[in-house]
Amino acid sequence: MIQDPSFPRLSNTIKQLTSDSKLQLFVATDKKIVLDIAVGKITSNNYVRWLSSGKPIVALVIAKLWEEKLLDIDDTIAKFIPEFAQKGKEKITIRHALTHTGGFRTLEQKWYKLGWDKSIEFISSLKLEPRWIVGKTAGYHMSSSWFILAEIAQRITKTPISSLIKKYIFDPIGIEEAYLGIPEDRYEKIEKKLIFIEEESKTTAPPKELLVFPNPASGIWGPIKMLGLFYQELLKISRGTKGIIRKSTLETFTQRARVNLFDKTFKAYLDWGLGFIPFQSRNELPERSFRFSNYASQRTAGHNGYRTSSAFFDPVANIAVSFFFSKAVEEQQHRLRIQQLTDSLYLDLGLEDVQEKI
């Protein structure tokens, strides 16, 4: 628990939110780490599954290939995956995949049982959803679009997506303890550090096949501070420091690329960037809001992980944040606790007026 009297609101909020949940929390500015803590029977070095909080990492691989002029955001998916061009999906682009406006959602599969090639084959065989106007209808694609984005990157570079993430993102930042799919040669060592998600008072260890499978939508494992280091890197870039991508590229991917469209998955009007969730322009009740904090600036961007985690950076406040709760709660309850945690953090750091500084 935080002992520093500089964080009284945060300490009290964490106490309330961790009565039945473990917590990892990381906070940094562009210059230093502010907090790196763990609460409950967990350490800051335990490995957790980032779930969808890791989606922007795959988006940044696409951003790197865009910078290298190996693809264009408005290229069709079929240009790289010809077999995708069927059943109404011929005109779906990379932009549509990144903004969840493509229209090829599917019920979640046991992807690790299908295997990579069969997963791509299955997604490519999907029909365009009925009454879906590509680019204008929106609905969060939990996994399908991220498999396709990763496959595009693999076909262009002839390199596995896990290796591309390591090459383009993790190695340059110095992230040594995070993996898309736990490597077989490190599994025995990492297995001892794994913390699994608790749901309905049960904690069931997933099969090894799931843990090692490189699911690009939800399969990155590592201490949540490693995700925080990723966002600290983006924070540095946003404030003018040279980094893994150009500042202009970061702005392109994190600004609103779709605005106030009704999301058929979340049943809410949402803004979206290219693989990132930006600051939400629409005011909602706290339990329905997708804002990372009520005090966050309009340049904030990040992503949540299904009912357990969240991570973002706020260039105006000069803050990068990542956190993981071991206890999965209902989606609206998770959105509420995100704001409870981050609002108390912003207040303790004296950042309640950053919206006015834009």
Question: 181 and 311 share a domain?
Answer: yes
Position 18: which residue type?
Answer: T
Question: 73 and 40 share a domain?
Answer: no
Q: In what order do the strands lie in the sheet with 301-305?
A: 33-39, 23-28, 319-325, 309-314, 301-305, 277-278
Instruction: Report which of 5, 19, 51, 31 is spatially closest to residue 322, judged by C-alpha positions.
Output: 51
Residue 163 in any domain: the answer is no
Q: How many domains are there within the chain?
A: 2
What digits encode the pLDDT tens for the residues 70-99?
A: 999 999 999 999 999 999 999 999 999 999
Backbone angles phi, psi at 290, to 5 degrees: -105, 15
pLDDT at 286: 59
Task: State whether the Cα torsion 97-103-104-109 is positive or negative.
Answer: positive
Q: What is the rounded distance in angstroms from the CA atom of residue 38 to the CA atom of residue 23?
A: 5
pLDDT at 291: 85
Final residue belonging to a domain, choices 126, 157, 188: 157
Q: What is the rounded distance in angstroms from the CA atom of residue 46 to the CA atom of residue 60?
A: 25
Position 118: which residue type?
Answer: K
Q: Is residue 274 within 8 Å of residue 289, measured between CB atoms?
A: no
Question: 106 and 135 share a domain?
Answer: yes
Question: 48 and 189 share a domain?
Answer: yes
Q: What is the rounded distance in angstroms from the CA atom of residue 297 to the CA atom of residue 278?
A: 10
Residue 162 in any domain: the answer is no
Instruction: Report which of 189, 101, 181, 194 is spatially closest to residue 145, judged by C-alpha positions.
Output: 101
pLDDT of 5 over the 80 cut: no
Residue 171 in any domain: the answer is no
Instruction: Report which of 325, 341, 353, 355 is spatially closest to residue 9, judged by C-alpha positions.
Output: 341
Instruction: Report which of 302, 334, 165 is spatially closest to residue 238, judged by C-alpha positions.
Output: 302
Q: What is the rounded distance in angstroms from the CA atom of residue 192 to the CA atom of residue 23?
A: 18
CA 267 centroid distance within chain: 20
Domain with 216, as residue range(s), is 8-53+177-352
Q: What is the CATH number of the domain that holds 41?
A: 3.40.710.10
Q: What is the rounded distance in angstroms from the CA atom of residue 274 to the CA atom of residue 272?
A: 7
Final residue belonging to a domain, choices 127, 157, 187: 157
Question: 137 and 219 share a domain?
Answer: no
Q: Is residue 29 within 8 Å of residue 315, measured between CB atoms?
A: no
Question: 49 and 80 share a domain?
Answer: no
What digits encode the pLDDT tens for the residues 233-284?
A: 999 999 999 999 999 999 999 999 999 999 999 998 999 999 999 988 777 6
Question: 210 and 328 share a domain?
Answer: yes
8-17 vs 331-348: helix crossing angle, rounded to 10 = 160
Q: What is the rounded distance in angstroms from the CA atom of residue 26 to the CA atom of residue 229?
A: 9
| pLDDT band, very low/low/confident/very high, at 1 (cuts 50, 70, 90) | very low
Q: Is residue 144 within 8 Å of residue 105, measured between CB atoms?
A: yes
Final residue belonging to a domain, choices 89, 124, 157: 157
Quote the longest CA-to-CA distance of the chain: 60
Question: 72 and 45 share a domain?
Answer: no
- For the chain, what is the mean pLDDT? 94
Question: 216 and 305 share a domain?
Answer: yes
